[in-house]
């Protein structure tokens, strides 16, 4: 019974990993491009609002880079996790 549950969990995690690996690069590019556009728009804003827009743009840029790094290392993370479970 326990072996069947472990196989189910492994299959479930593997399917999640494949789905996320497919959409993560798209999300990463969208965040980076949108961050760049918002940063450019921020330059047209008055001084007191510019900082808020720039902070949001930098957060999007950083988020896009982090998503790209995690999706790039997803296979390594999965393999390491599987070794921990066994």
Rg value, the chain, Cα: 19
d(CA 84, CA 82): 5
| Chain-centroid distance, C-alpha 77 | 14
Residue 19 banded pLDDT, cuts 50, 70, 90:
confident
Per-residue pLDDT tens for 20-72?
Answer: 788 989 999 999 999 999 999 999 999 889 999 999 999 999 999 999 998 88
For the full predicted model, state whether its pTM sits above 0.95. Answer: no
d(CA 2, CA 49): 57
What integer pLDDT is reported at residue 3 of this predicted model? 65
d(CA 29, CA 61): 9
74 CB-near residues (< 8 Å, 6+ apart): 17, 20, 21, 24
Q: Which domain holds residue 38?
A: 2-85
Q: What's the number of domains the chain is made of?
A: 1
Please say if the pLDDT value at position 1 is more than 60.
Answer: no
């Amino acid at each position: 019974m326990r072996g069947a549950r472990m196989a189910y969990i492994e299959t479930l995690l593997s399917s999640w990993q494949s789905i996320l690996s497919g959409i993560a690069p798209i999300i990463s590019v969208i965040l980076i491009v949108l961050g760049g556009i918002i940063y450019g728009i921020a330059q047209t804003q008055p001084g007191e609002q510019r900082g808020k827009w720039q902070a949001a743009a930098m957060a999007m840029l950083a988020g896009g880079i982090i998503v790209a790094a995690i999706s790039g290392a997803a296979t390594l993370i999965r393999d390491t996790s599987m070794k921990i479970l066994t």
